[in-house]
Each structure stands twice: as structure tokens, then as C-alpha cells.
Structure 1
Amino acid sequence: MQTATIFYIILAGIIALSLALLQYKYKSKASGRRSQLLALLRFLTLFAVGLLIINPKFESVTYFDEKPNLILAIDNSESISYLKQNENASRILNQLKNDDNLKEQFTIETYSFGSDFNTFETLTFEDKQTNINRVFKNIEDIYSENTAPIILISDGNQTYGADYQFYGSKSKQAVFPVVLGDTIQYSDLRIERLNVNRFAYLKNRFPVEIFVNYTGDESVNSQLRILSGNATVFSQNLNFDSNSGSQLINTTLPANSVGVKSYTVEIVPLESERNKVNNRKRFAVEVIDQKNNVAIVAEGPHPDLGAFKKAIESNEQRRATILKPRDYISKKDDFQLVILYQPNNSFSTVLKSISDDKRNVFFVAGPATSWDLLNKNQEFFSQTITNQSEDYQPSLNLNYNTFIIDNLNFDNYPPLKSEFGKLEFKVPEQTILFKTINGTATSRPLLSSFEFNNNKYALLNGEGIWRWRAQNYLDTNSFQDFDNFMGKLVQYLSSNQKRRRMNVDYRSFYNGNESLIISAQFFNKSYEFDADANLVIRLKNETDDTRREIPLLLDNSSYSIDLSGIAPGDYSFTVLNTNEPISASGQFKVLEYNVEQQFLNADISKLKAVAEGSGGKTYFSNQVEQLVNDLQNDSRFAIVQRSSKDIVPLIDWKYLLAFLALTLSLEWFIRKYNGLI
């Protein structure tokens, strides 16, 4: 407590005593003990009021015991049930969760993981994918400031995501894997990986790359075949032994007709082989008869050009070529879309050629753009020339309805640099992204699309889009969302199809382990997005003729349905609005493949590496009691006594207010009783 505060308290006591004596010693008719009692009560009342006015602050220290967290993370994927470990896994979880000794020493938190990491109420063991690496990343984010050892109940088999052995072995939390599944190694042939492009071009040959692995000690012979229907289109003999456990097979297959072509890769199984599911895998290729070519015309090098090219060519149906303005004219007939990157005075001939040919154009402007040239050589928009630049961040227009935008949140994307001043459109435009300045949203467009005289155009008024692609990777460890967004914009600009009131987004085929989401947009007669539409999908399985009708759910500026997990086969569908006779139809194929059934054993080597690297220990399903004892006796996980120091103002002490009310009441009662009032 500060010296000044102590001085004020003493002063308040002197003033309170002086006023009390003045009231009852010199002015009051009362005498004797009654006068002394009343003086004491008045002193206490005045002193309490003085303390409340001064409001001194006191330190309050409380002590409490802090338990470490204990994370129970259980594998909820299909591989657990396929290895017949689901009952074992549930038993281990319940035994650990209900152990009295563990509950006394730890705060127990339970999570399940498969394709995602979350809390759960019941275990289903039906997840189609396993990403163990996500377990360690999420726990590190949640419990970064706490002690939280991890009990990982799993077979250790991961089907996608970064290698969990690297991340888990560096975990700040000790990891204690409980191994589910057989650890005995059996002879096994399996297709480890199959690489093939989603698209091929008519009259060309497309490559197929197959990795085949063998586990075993004996020398074995087999044969790999690629089948189209019942016809064998490729075969190769395989030889393995204990020193040669893998082979890479490369071949090419012909693309003779347009459409989705499905194939089956199979390895003739060994007589003693226990798991034959992983000897067979299906794949498909969509054969198309042309490729969209995009010209990126730019005067000089810039990171944005690489970002555009990478995003465009992430889809095998498209190819992007970077050209100088002087080189474009001789090759202009090769392209369906032209991207003009920051046009300057060297673009005069290019702009005239594009205008004469009535080509679809994507304008990209920035600080190096010659707005004087651009304003004069096109009739769609005009920029006020200030010769000053400004940084603008993007804000997504949720009402944009020309094509479906999903999986992107632009709120944390870096700003783009563009000309400061007013941009005025002379034709109707639809804003995709608005400009945001220092966190303040504006109605000014940053990215727009528009149509004029049966041609399609877009304008990005900013330099630095390469940072957006990099930010997408930082957010998701993938460029996919940004590339999909740019791909949809390029697809829209490359097409000359007329605008429709219903757009449906889907793929021609899906692998059995992929998410299958169909999205749709519906517009009213003014081509405004209709959030009140009643959209349903009528799905027909062409293989067994079963039919289903399922409503689509509104998701921001589109409707969507998740069909993941439907049976493999050929499907046709129609998305329709039950309130109007407008619909869109399509077809897709789901390939038979269950990645969770490719494993015969637990991956004990990776689980042991994670345990040793993180300071934990590996246990088997019959060693749960030993795990409990080791956790109890581990000094790293002892209960810690902590203190909490708070600064408490006196005015928050409710007992002082009660004391003040008591002294006032007693003084009033004594005076009233003795006729002094």
C-alpha cells in the first residue's frame, strides 16, 4: 500500500474521531456510557465512509492445485474396424477415461480423429481417411501453454496429410501410443501408389505410374495387369525378394474416344496372402478433345505472372503461355482468352487486335499500368489518373452470382497495390471483390467481371496477387483453394456460353475416398442470387437403378449437398427448383476404392519413433494398466500448486457496506429508544 494512501487513512480516522467527539461529547445531551457508545458508532460510521472514499487497494493471494491435462485421442477410421480392433479400442478408451487414479491426477480430455480432429459422443469407426498429423498440430495449438501428455489409441496407419512421424516426434507433449492391430508381418503384395492425370486428350497417350510394394522374406513372382472392362490393355511380370521389395511400373495408354474411361489395376495375389483388397485399385481418366489456351501478355517479369500460370495450369484442361506484346500478334489465333498484365504503351497493337477480333479479355492493372493508354483503347471502364498508388485489401462480395466461389476467405489476404482514384464502369459489371482500406470496407470494385456484345471480360485493379496464392498455402498447406478460384474465373472467361439461371459445380468422376460435394447457384429473373429457392437433387444410381431425392442446403452464396460415402457406381442427377420449372442435369462416376482397407498390420515403427522422439513410450492393447502406473509415477505430470495474486479495491468488499449499514442502524435505534430523536 502506498504511503499517501496510509496518510489519507490516518487523516480519515482523525476527522471521523473529531466529528464523533464533537457530536456526542460537546453537543449531545447524552452522557456516560451511552454517550461513549454513540460516539464509537458515529466514529466507525464516518471512518467507514472515509475508507470508501479513499478506496485503498489490497493484494489478495489465493492458492490452487493445477492438474496437467491428459489427452485421449482415439482413431475413428474404418481401418480400426477392418482390422477388427473396434471393440478393443472402445474398451481401452473407457478403461482410461474411467480410471479413478488418472481422474485424480489429470484433467482428462477425449478426442477422436479420422479425416478431422474433434470431440465426440459416440465412436463409429467409419471415417474414410486418417490424418494423424492433424492430431499433433491441433493439440499443440490448443494446449501450447499447458502440460498435456497424449495417449494415441491407433493402428498408426495414415492415409493422407503430412508425415506424422516427423511432426509427432518433435511434439512438445509426450506421446504414448497404444498400438491397435497385429504387429506380425505377413507376406503381402500391394499397390502402394497410383499416379495418373485426371484428363487426357483425344488421340494422345496418357501416362500411368504404379508403385508396387512387397513385404516378406521369400522370393515371389506375380503379374500386374491393367484392365479396361474385361480386356487386358497392359501386363507386366513382377519379381520380388527380401532385398527387392518395391518396383515402379511406367506405361502409357491410348485415349481413343471422348468421355470418362475407367480402368482397373490388379496384382495376381500370392497363395498365402491374407489381405487381397490392396492388390486391386481402380482409376479413371476423362478424355477431352481440346485444351483451353490462355495468353498472359506482359512487358516484363513479375511474380504475379508465375502465380497466374501455376493457378491456370493446375487444371490439366488449360495451358498458359507468357508472351511479350510484340509476340502475341503472330500467335493470337492459338488462344481462347488473353490476360493483359499491366498494359503500357507497348500494348497499343495488342489492344487494337483484341478489339478487332472481339476476344475475351482479363485486364490486370497496377502501378505500372498506362491508364492514359488503357482509358483510350477500351470502352468498358475509365480510371481517374492521379499518378499515386494505394494498397487495397480484398473483401468478398457474397452476392456475386456469375459462378460459384467457395472455400476462400479473403479477410486476411495481403493488400494489392493499384492506382489511387475513382474507377468508373461504363457497362454493367458484377463485383467479385470489393476494396477495403485499413479495415474499412468500401463499395469500390477490386475485381469485377462483365459482359458486352457477347464477349466476357474481367478487371483486377491491383498488383501482387502472387501474395494471395502464398497466403492460401500458409492457411491450408495447399494452393488448391486459390487455384480453384482462379480456375473458375478463367473457365468463365474462356467460355462463350450464355448466362443461365442455374449453375451446378461438380466433377465427372470421384475416387471412393474423396469428398463428393455438389454445389449449385440459382438466380431470379433479374439474375440476382435467390436465397429463398427450394433446391433438391434427384440422384439415380445407374448401376442398380435406385433413386433418391435430397434437399440442398444454403451455404452463403450457393447451395450444396455432401454425397461423400455413396456406393461406387455410375450416377446421373438433376438439380431443380421445386418452385419453378428450371433444372440442370449431369453425370458422374464414383470409383471403388477404400484406402482404409489397404492395411494388414499396425504401423508400429512410426508409432515407436513418435513416442521416442517426444519423450513417451509405446504400449500394446494388453498393457493399459502398465501405462496408467507409468503416468502416475512420471514426475513430469505431477500436480502443481499455483498462486493467483489479485489487486482488490476496498469498495468491492461487500462486508464493509454491511458493517456501515449495521453501525448506522444501531446508532439510530439507540437514539430513538432514548428519546434523542
Structure 2
Amino acid sequence: MESTTIIYIVLAVLISVIIAFFQYFYKVKKTPKVHILLFSLKALSLFLIGLLLINPKITTIETENIKPVLSVLVDNSLSTQFFKEEKKVQELVSKIKNNQELQDKFDVEYFSFGNNIQVLDSLSFKETQTDISKAINAVNELNEDKKAATILITDGNQTQGNDYEFLSAKNKTYPVVIGDTIQYQDIQISQLNVNKYSYIKNKFPVETLLYYEGKETVNTTFSIVRNGNRVFSKKLRFSPENPVQTVTANLVSNTKGIHYYTASVSNIKNEKNTKNNYKSFSVEVLDEQTNVLLLSSFLHPDLGALKKAIESNKQRKVDIALIQDRNIDLDAYQFFVLYQPNSYFKSTLEKIQSNFLLISGTKTDWNFLNSQNLGIQKRAINQEEEYIAVYNPDFLTFYQEDIGFDQLPPLKDKFGEVQIKKESQSLLYQKYAGIETTQPLLSTFEGNDKKYALLFGEGVWKWRAASYLKEKNFESFDTFVGNLVQYLASTKKRRRLDVKAQRLYAANEPITISAFYVDKNYQFDSRASLELTVTNLETKDKKSIPFSLFNNSYQVSVEGLASGEYSYTVTVKDQNISSSGRFNIEKYQIEEQFTNANFKKLEKLASKTNGTVAYVDKVDDLLKNIYNDASFYTTQKSITKKQSLVDWKWLLLLIIILLSIEWFVRKYYGKI
């Protein structure tokens, strides 16, 4: 207590005594004995009032016993149910709870884990994934500043998350192994890699990693099936010396749409678990074949160079035609390249409804082009000029890196100033006579649902040849032309409703579908009401669920769907906007792929954390060892607490009682 406070308390005592003395003894000729009582009551009550006004801080020291923490992590996944270990796990948890020695020595915490970790309430053994590393990290962070240990009750088989074998945990971990520890012969598809998309009539690779566990040499067959038809098959031989094989199958996609496949490996002798012998996958086949017409009034080397560059993408087919040919079916083409147009192109430009690329040159009729409302005017004179390309890094229409445009041969065109009348973006500017300008060499235009580009110069065949001389291939030039054609040929418009869903879900896996909805200004609209309708294509059963707003998107989670094929539709209430798709729920359970407990990894985890591993029948010994471990002990912590005297409510009550007694005594003796 501070010295100033002590002085105030002494003054409070003196003032209280002086006031009481003056009231009951000063100038009193005869002092009854009752005055001594009244003096004491008055002095004490006044002192207590003064003490409350001074409000000194009372310091107390308390000692707190801190027990070490024992975290019990229980595997709540389907694999426990698959191994038929539910009863043993329940009994094991009860045994720990009823162990009074552990309860006295530790603060015992109980958690269950699967996809996530949570405080143990009840065990359902229905979690569809197992993340052991997340569970261990969570309790380690929770007890970071405490002496702690962890009992891990699991089969050791993890389906997601970081490998727990390599965790750097400071707390001792004691795994209790559940499940079958006997090693059975087993062959499984451990991994399957495939691109989600393919183009029609293109081959797409399927890479499958197969793993064998056993002591004998076995023969098996790997196959891929679609709609009941085998599309790939290969005989394989496995042995203890050759337990891993990778099979690559090149499949052909002949029809547009989403196709579902099942990869499987035939059963081997004495195989206990066959559910890991197959795995399903899906591929969406896209039909984006683009027919391109390269139209000119005369033959030129540029035509061949452009044809080869555009057809480097196998989804594009180019035909070259002369404008004089009146039998051209324009409706058969989705994209046009107009090479050095003249007045003969007038009817063609009027008929073309799709996007196009226009290339000018020394034979271009600029009087004709200036009258076509293309957004450009060129005051061309009858004089040729060579233009070197200058790359514009601020071009934003689509991504195109600089392939060394300024090192390419110059293009030729008629000399003249170009005036742009419409909004445009220039990828390349002109450089002539050694002077860089902001005159366009390649510009793109977009408006009124049409996109087109203008290249002011002939001689791109020289660009392709120069690209080959520099890099020994045509890739950079062909990619440049491909990017330009891809942007111009694309007719896709931005959709106001964008839905994201997987095409394939494992059985009992949470099905989450998200949607992004924008208003007419393409700004996210949080006011909308979205609904998902899911239909089983076999039973025709329907299920409708509203979306919930989550940050800047809408999300919905669907549960309880049986395996099979489903279609879905997302609709926006009071708007004629919807989006549809399909997904498949396979019968494969990822938690059922294991034949036995992974006791080897659990032993490594225990060894790394200075713990010990135990099996269910040896749990009593494990619990005894944990109890007898001297590194877990109760610590004492001194806590200094400061409390204001004002907080002592009983002191106020005592003052009221003292003043009341004084009043009644004075009233009784007629002093009032």
C-alpha cells in the first residue's frame, strides 16, 4: 500500500475520533457509560465512511494449481465403421473417462475429427474424409503454452491434408491403433490424372497410378469403361519388386458433352478390399471447331502463312478463296480474314454477320474502305511505305506478350495518315523512317455485338519466316495469330449468372454449389434470391434448396443424395435467368480404400514426438505409462490481485448497521 494512502487512513482515524469525541465528551459534565458505546459506534462508522472515500487498493496473493492437459482425439470417419471398430472405440473413450487417476492428474479434453475437428459430443463414424494432421495441429495450438499430451485413437489412414508423419509437434503423441493390422494382398488405383476438358475428335491422355501390396507375383487387367463398353485394356504383372506401375491411355472423344468413365483393375486372389480397385472420372468434350474463310482478290504469300498459322490450332480449318468466286457459301464459316479489300468486297462486308480480321496492303482500295463505316479513315496516297511494328505494353483487350515485334521485317502499305473514328485498342504502332509514332499498325475494335481487327500492312509471311529463323520453330508467330483469331472468333457474351459445381462427387461427400450473380451493369447483386433444383435422372425425384449469401457469392450445400446421375438448374427469382448442368455421385467411398490400419506411420509419429504407440488390447498399460510419466506434473502459479475497497459491499452494509445501532441506542436513552 502506498505511503500517501496510509497517511490518509491515519487522518481518517483522527478525524473520526475527534468528531465522535466532540459529540459525546466535549463540554459534557456527566458522562454516562452509554456514551462510550455511542462514541465507539460513531468513530467506527465515520472511519469506515472515510475509508470508502479514500478507496485504498487491497493486494492479495492467490496460488493456482495448473494441471497438464491430456487431449483425446477420436477418429470419427467412415473407415472406423468399415473396420467394424465402433464399439471398441466407444469402450476406449469410456475407459479413459472412468480412469480416475488420469482425471486427477490431467485436465482431459475430448475431441472428434474427420473433415474437421470439434469438441466430442457423440460419435457417428460418418465423416467422409480424415485429416489427422489438422486435428493434431489444432490441439497443439490450443495448448501451446501448457504441458500437454495427446492420445490419438485412429486407424492412421488419412485421406486429405498434410502428411502427419512429418509433423513437428512438441507435445508427446500416443497413438492407439484401431482396425486390422494384418497385411493382406491388395491392388488399388492410388491416383488418376486426367484433364477435365477435351476437344471433339481429339485424343486426351488418362494417367493412372496403380499400387500393389503383397508377397507374390500376380497378374491383373487394367481397363477403362464408358457406358458399359470397354474403351481401353491392358494386362499387367505386379510383384514385391515391382509394386508400382503407371498406365497411360489415350482416349478419343467423338461426341460433344460430359462423358463419365470408370477405370478399374481386376481383383487378385485373396484380396480383402476390392472397393479401391476402381475409380470414376469425367471429361467434358467441347465442340469449338471454327471454319475460317481467307478471302482475297489475288494470290499472295501471306495467304499461305496465315492459313498455316491459324490451322496450327487443330480446332480451326481455313479455306482460301478469291473474291471473284461467286459460289462461296459464307454461312459455312464462323470467321473471316479479308485480305486487301477492294470494291468487290462490298456485298461480302454487308453479308458478314460474324467477326473478321482485315489486312491492308499496297493493293488495297482505301477509297472503298473509307466508305464502309469501319471506324477508320486513311488519307492514302499512291506511294508505298515500310512500317516496323512497335509493341504497346498497355494493350488490354487480350494478353499478348512481345515476341520481338520491333525485330521483325517491316510491313508494306500505302503511305497516309490513319484517323480512328471509333473506340479501339492498338496492340502495335507504326515506326517508319526511324521514327516511332502512335499511328496504329494493328488495332482491335468492339461494338454493336461485333469485333474486328485491322492490320495495316502486307508481308506477314516474312514475320513467320523470321520467327522460324530466330527460334527454329513457328510457335511464337502462330501463337500470336492464334491469340488474335481466338479473341475475334469468340462470340461468347458475359453471363449474369455463373454457377460452379463439380461434375463428379464421391459417395457421402458434401456437395457444395456456388453461384455468382450480377446485375445489368455487371456488378455483384446481393439482393437476388437464387434456388437450386436437383433432379435424379433415373428416379426423376426432385429436390429444391435456396441459396445462402456468403461474402460475394451464393452457396448451397446438398446432402442425402444417393449415388447416380443428376441434373441441376439454378434460377433467379423474378428474373428470366437460369443455368443448368449435370453431376454424378459415384458409389466409391474414399474411406473404404484401405485394407488395414497404417500402424507404421503411427509408430513413426509416436517415435518423433517421444510418445509410444499402443493397440486396443494394451490401452491399460498405455494409460498407466502416461500417468507415471514424470514429465507431466502440476505446476503452481501465484496470482497477485488488487481489489478496490469500494467493491466490498459488506463494508457498506456494516456502516449502515453501525449507524442504525447508534440511532436506536440514542433513541432508547432519550438522546434524540
Indicate whether the TM-score tops 0.5. yes
Give the greater-gyration-radius structure (CA). Answer: 2
| Conserved 8 A contact 2:568-2:582 | yes
Distance 1:551 1:116 in 2: 25
Distance 2:397 2:287 in 1: 15
What is the DSSP-based 3-state SS (H/G/I as helix, E as strand, rest coil) of the residue aligned with 1:636?
A: coil
Taking a change above 3 Å as real, the CA distance of residues 632 and 584 of structure 1, as seen in their structure-2 partners, is same
Structure 2 counterparts to residues 323-472 of structure 1, below 5 A: 337-338=398-399
Distance 1:128 1:493 in 2: 46
Taking a change above 3 Å as real, the CA distance of residues 112 and 291 of structure 1, as seen in their structure-2 partners, is farther
Deviations 1:83-132 (A, max 9, x none): 11122222222322343333333333222111111124332212211111
Distance 1:327 1:596 in 2: 59
- Tell me how far 1:21 sits from its aligned partner: 2.1
Distance 2:226 2:391 in 1: 43
Identity %: 37
Q: Which moved more, 1:603-612 or 1:105-114?
A: 105-114
Taking a change above 3 Å as real, the CA distance of residues 152 and 227 of structure 1, as seen in their structure-2 partners, is same
Find the counterpart in structure 2 of residue 280 from structure 1: 278
Find the counterpart in structure 2 of residue 545 from structure 1: 540
Distance 2:450 2:74 in 1: 55
Q: Does 1:596 align with 2:585?
A: no
Find the counterpart in structure 2 of residue 186 from structure 1: 184
- Tell me how far 1:275 sits from its aligned partner: 1.0
Taking a change above 3 Å as real, the CA distance of residues 247 and 357 of structure 1, as seen in their structure-2 partners, is farther
Find the counterpart in structure 2 of residue 78 from structure 1: 78
Q: Does 1:254 align with 2:252?
A: yes
Deviations 1:53-78 (A, max 9, x none): 22222211223333333222111111
Distance 1:213 1:508 in 2: 26
Q: Which moved more, 1:204-213 or 1:505-514?
A: 505-514
Find the counterpart in structure 1 of residue 12 from structure 2: 12
Find the counterpart in structure 1 of residue 351 from structure 2: none
| Conserved 8 A contact 1:360-1:455 | no
Distance 1:12 1:250 in 2: 95
Find the counterpart in structure 2 of residue 421 from structure 1: none
| Conserved 8 A contact 2:76-2:124 | yes
| Conserved 8 A contact 2:282-2:503 | no
What is the DSSP-based 3-state SS (H/G/I as helix, E as strand, rest coil) of the residue aligned with 2:79?
A: helix
Taking a change above 3 Å as real, the CA distance of residues 550 and 624 of structure 1, as seen in their structure-2 partners, is same
Q: Does 1:563 align with 2:539?
A: no
Find the counterpart in structure 1 of residue 410 from structure 2: none
* Structure 2 unaligned blocks of 5 or more: 291-314, 316-387, 403-417, 428-437, 452-485
Find the counterpart in structure 1 of residue 226 from structure 2: 228
Distance 2:489 2:70 in 1: 55
Taking a change above 3 Å as real, the CA distance of residues 211 and 499 of structure 1, as seen in their structure-2 partners, is closer
- Tell me how far 1:514 sits from its aligned partner: 5.5
Structure 2 counterparts to residues 621-636 of structure 1, below 5 A: 621-636=616-631
Find the counterpart in structure 2 of residue 128 from structure 1: 128
- Tell me how far 1:272 sits from its aligned partner: 1.3
What is the DSSP-based 3-state SS (H/G/I as helix, E as strand, rest coil) of the residue aligned with 1:661?
A: helix
Distance 1:35 1:492 in 2: 108
- Tell me how far 1:256 sits from its aligned partner: 3.3
Find the counterpart in structure 2 of residue 618 from structure 1: 613
Taking a change above 3 Å as real, the CA distance of residues 139 and 453 of structure 1, as seen in their structure-2 partners, is farther
Distance 1:210 1:32 in 2: 110
Find the counterpart in structure 2 of residue 478 from structure 1: none
Distance 1:327 1:599 in 2: 61
- Tell me how far 1:633 sits from its aligned partner: 1.9
Find the counterpart in structure 1 of residue 321 from structure 2: none
Taking a change above 3 Å as real, the CA distance of residues 206 and 29 of structure 1, as seen in their structure-2 partners, is farther
Taking a change above 3 Å as real, the CA distance of residues 628 and 452 of structure 1, as seen in their structure-2 partners, is farther
For 1:624, the aligned partner's letter is: V
| Conserved 8 A contact 1:338-1:359 | no
Distance 1:493 1:124 in 2: 56
Distance 1:555 1:120 in 2: 28
For 1:337, the aligned partner's letter is: F
Instruction: Return the match for 2:657 from 648, 655, 662.
Output: 662
Deviations 1:507-551 (A, max 9, x none): 444455754222346678998877676644332222343333334
Deviations 1:245-292 (A, max 9, x none): 222233433333332222222222211111111111121222224599
Q: What TM-score do you get using the length of structure 2 for normalisation?
A: 0.67
Taking a change above 3 Å as real, the CA distance of residues 504 and 282 of structure 1, as seen in their structure-2 partners, is closer
* Structure 1 unaligned blocks of 5 or more: 293-316, 318-324, 342-351, 362-372, 379-450, 457-490
| Conserved 8 A contact 1:337-1:494 | no
| Conserved 8 A contact 1:24-1:30 | no
What is the DSSP-based 3-state SS (H/G/I as helix, E as strand, rest coil) of the residue aligned with 2:567?
A: strand
Distance 1:496 1:252 in 2: 31
- Tell me how far 1:182 sits from its aligned partner: 0.8
Q: Does 1:643 align with 2:641?
A: no
| Conserved 8 A contact 1:155-1:602 | yes
Distance 2:421 2:176 in 1: 68
Deviations 1:401-455 (A, max 9, x none): xxxxxxxxxxxxxxxxxxxxxxxxxxxxxxxxxxxxxxxxxxxxxxxxxx98659
What is the DSSP-based 3-state SS (H/G/I as helix, E as strand, rest coil) of the residue aligned with 2:58?
A: strand
| Conserved 8 A contact 1:517-1:564 | no
For 1:196, the aligned partner's letter is: V
| Conserved 8 A contact 1:71-1:149 | yes
For 2:189, the aligned partner's letter is: I
- Tell me how far 1:157 sits from its aligned partner: 0.3
Structure 2 counterparts to residues 147-186 of structure 1, below 5 A: 147-167=147-167, 170-186=168-184
Find the counterpart in structure 1 of residue 208 from structure 2: 210
Distance 1:282 1:6 in 2: 83
| Conserved 8 A contact 1:217-1:242 | yes
Distance 2:419 2:88 in 1: 72
For 1:172, the aligned partner's letter is: K
- Tell me how far 1:3 sits from its aligned partner: 2.3
For 2:70, the aligned partner's letter is: L
| Conserved 8 A contact 2:224-2:263 | yes
Taking a change above 3 Å as real, the CA distance of residues 535 and 51 of structure 1, as seen in their structure-2 partners, is same
Taking a change above 3 Å as real, the CA distance of residues 27 and 526 of structure 1, as seen in their structure-2 partners, is farther
What is the DSSP-based 3-state SS (H/G/I as helix, E as strand, rest coil) of the residue aligned with 1:93?
A: helix
Q: Which moved more, 1:556-565 or 1:102-111?
A: 556-565
Q: Does 1:104 align with 2:165?
A: no
For 1:195, the aligned partner's letter is: N
Find the counterpart in structure 2 of residue 21 from structure 1: 21
Taking a change above 3 Å as real, the CA distance of residues 550 and 650 of structure 1, as seen in their structure-2 partners, is closer
- Tell me how far 1:28 sits from its aligned partner: 4.5
Distance 2:126 2:488 in 1: 41
Distance 1:242 1:507 in 2: 37
For 1:613, the aligned partner's letter is: K
Distance 1:8 1:339 in 2: 83
RMSD value, Cα: 3.9
Deviations 1:358-403 (A, max 9, x none): 6799xxxxxxxxxxx9xxxx9xxxxxxxxxxxxxxxxxxxxxxxxx
Distance 2:420 2:233 in 1: 51
